[in-house]
Amino acid sequence: MLKYILKRLALLIPTLFGVVTIVFFMIALSPGDPARVMLGERATAASIEKLRHELGLDKPLYVQYGLYLQRVVKLDLGKSIKSGQKVSEEIRDHLPATVELAIWAMIFSTTVGIFLGVMSATRKNSWIDFGSMASALVGVSMPVFWLALVFIMIFSVKLDLFPTGGRMNIRYYFTPISGLYVLDGFIVLLKSGDPKVLLSALHHLVLPAIALGTIPLAITARITRSSLLEVLNQDYIKTARSAGIKERRVIYRYALKNALLPIITVVGLQVGMLLAGAILTETVFSWPGIGKWLYHAIEARDYPAVQGGIIFISISFVLINLLVDILYSVVNPKIRLS
């Protein structure tokens, strides 16, 4: 087990290195001069030259690459052109909002998705199965941003049930502790007995989390169904049934634990999709996270910020998938004990 984890960790290094390299060269070799793009069409040659020098763009490519690698290793992603702030600091400031949104979206999509998948698999070919699989297919065919707008239109504008955006009612001033507002709200509640912050945080989370979680939900439901159906065909399920284990237990304990293995992998892959989907969802809901920040960086052609953002998200994605793989091996005794 330990050996397995070490092996995975060793494999991680070339992957990370590769990601940084690809992102660097993609940006460096793309047509157009970042300095010119940043300064606009009417910039003078001198000012462009000055910026090129500041960004190190006048050095040979391999030198630039070497310098960039050195800085990335030190977790230095450069300075944002737009704000002048360090990219790593900007990421740090915007990260909690995205993490919070992603966690709730994940909780929503995984629980509901697995539940629907189990219902479908155990009632194969019934109208429940047909209905949830049809909805799942609709779910994966939908543009997230459109769903988000429709949600706003129905639940915020028409029914006035939820706010149209933001993370917190601005009237509730409080100093963030973890930056995860639900957690912070909970702390406030414990300290002062005031549930306002907690409730407002949850209130603001509902629509964006559901919108962001819809596609992963649909995928999870589909994979749960097919994985569970496959497991239910296995000999050991027949064994459990023939031994008189109750059907509920056969499904929720004996079958689901086996079916969980492929589900875990898929859920892990969705974290990447979630991070990317966050760009759209956060933009629609004015959610001050990494996605919205990256969107504005792209809009402003803020190269260092874009570069840093992409690298950060990709690396998080790789690390999360590593965690998922480790989790997988914990659930699967064949790997754990070898």
Binding region for other proteins (CB under 8 A):
14-15, 18-19, 22-23, 26-27, 30-32, 137-138, 140-147, 149-150, 152-153, 157, 234-236, 238-247, 249, 254, 257-258, 272-273, 275-277, 279-280, 283-284, 295, 298-299, 301, 306, 310, 313-314, 317-318, 321, 331-334, 337
Q: What are the phi and psi torsion angles at 79 (to 5°)? A: -110, 140
| Nearest approach, Cβ of residue 194 and other proteins (Å) | 32
| Nearest approach, Cβ of residue 93 and other proteins (Å) | 20
CA angle, corner 264, sides to 133 and 328, nearest 5? Answer: 155
Query: Which residue lies nearer to other proteins by CB, 22 or 107?
Result: 22
Query: Which residue lies nearer to other proteins by CB, 145 or 174?
Result: 145
Query: Which residue lies nearer to other proteins by CB, 9 or 177?
Result: 9
Q: How far apart are CA 332 and CA 334, in angstroms?
A: 5
| Nearest approach, Cβ of residue 33 and other proteins (Å) | 12
Q: How far apart are CA 74 and CA 309, in angstroms?
A: 16
The number of beta carbons lying within 10 Å of the beta carbon of residue 85 is: 12
Query: Which residue lies nearer to other proteins by CB, 136 or 182?
Result: 136
Query: Which residue lies nearer to other proteins by CB, 186 or 295?
Result: 295
| Nearest approach, Cβ of residue 264 and other proteins (Å) | 12
| Nearest approach, Cβ of residue 199 and other proteins (Å) | 25
Task: Pick the closest to residue 270 from 92, 132, 113, 118 (CA basis).
Answer: 113
| Nearest approach, Cβ of residue 302 and other proteins (Å) | 10
Instruction: Give yes or no for a contact between 72 and 304, defined as CB atoms under 8 angstroms apart.
Output: no
Task: Pick the closest to residue 167 from 84, 295, 282 (CA basis).
Answer: 282
Tokens for 217? 């939900």
Instruction: Give yes or no for a contact between 309 and 294, defined as CB atoms under 8 angstroms apart.
Output: yes
Q: How far apart are CA 218 and CA 140, in angstroms?
A: 6
Query: Which residue lies nearer to other proteins by CB, 20 or 201?
Result: 20
